[in-house]
Amino acid sequence: MTDRFPTGLDSTYRLNQGIEIPCFGLGVFQMGPGAETERAVRWALESEYRMIDTATLYKNEADVGNGVRASEFERSDVFVTTKLWHTDHGYESSQRACRESLQRLGFDYVDLYLIHWPRAPTPADRLASWRGLVKLQKEGLCRAIGVSNYSVRHLQELLADSEVVPAVNQVEFHPFVYDPELLTFCGDHGIRLEAYSPITRGRRLDDPTVGGIARARKRSPAQVLLRWGIQHGIVEIPKSIHQERIIENAQVFDFELGPNEMSALDGLAGGARVGAGNPAEIP
């Protein structure tokens, strides 16, 4: 193993806005409200995860907050992300929406607040949302701010309008939707790429290339996909409601994929997305 990749769940990346983000966390998309989400959060924190990713859309912010409070950890020990839904675009409405998320979470601040999608009535509305997030950060309600599902074009639009560069761009990212142009653009501008659905919501785990590497490495297909992302410098946030899989997903820091394996996985690009459409098609 080299030391150029994260070495464990305690590994972090320093964001361009001056805070550290864990390299790996738990996503809670499509988790049921109440006990299901609270259990998953508790299991993840017990397994040394230190990041939980939620959103207004997921309708489980309150359960994430409860799960963090029920753990043995201080609020400051857990990195929590939530997101602005596209129906709340705008300068004033984005600020109101963030405060409502904080109320549901039961927190005084969120570590990372993202614009969930660039879908908005007009490009001016999403730019106004970003200005709203900048104000929220200045007020201390968000330690860092960023975007989600932004294409290179959307990022260029934002950067042309604001001096504040997003800390994170969270997108669907795995070998089947590998986008080296986006990865390079984000890297060149100091934006950390973060992957949702990094294990394809389980839909491509039977792929022959992934399976062959998994068998050769004596690893699960999910672990191979997650390790691929780690070696591309991507923050990974796989979702699971099963304790054993939450633990298994994080066991990706004690092996390394070779150049030929990485190239083979890169070559799977062009597959179908598992998320809600292609962001590049949003005006």
CA 141-147-61 angle, to 5 degrees, is 55
CA 200-176-80 angle, to 5 degrees, is 45
* 58: annotated active-site residue: yes
The answer to whether the CB of 149 falls within 8 A of the CB of 182 is no
Residue 166: what residue type?
P
Question: Residue 171 and residue 161: Cα distance in Å, rounded?
Answer: 22
If we measure between CA atoms, which residue out of 194, 213, 173, 159 comes closest to residue 21? 194
Cα 242 off chain centre by: 19
Place of tokens 């790429």: 193
Question: Residue 96 and residue 98: Cα distance in Å, rounded?
Answer: 6
Q: HSE on the CB side for 233, CA within 13 Å?
A: 16
Question: Residue 146 and residue 253: Cα distance in Å, rounded?
Answer: 26
Helix (H, G, I), strand (E, B), or coil: what is residue 280? helix
Question: Residue 266 and residue 69: Cα distance in Å, rounded?
Answer: 40
CA 24-273-123 angle, to 5 degrees, is 90
φ, ψ at 148 (rounded to 5°): -145, 140
Annotated catalytic residue: which of 49, 58, 109, 113?
58
Residues taking part in catalysis: 58
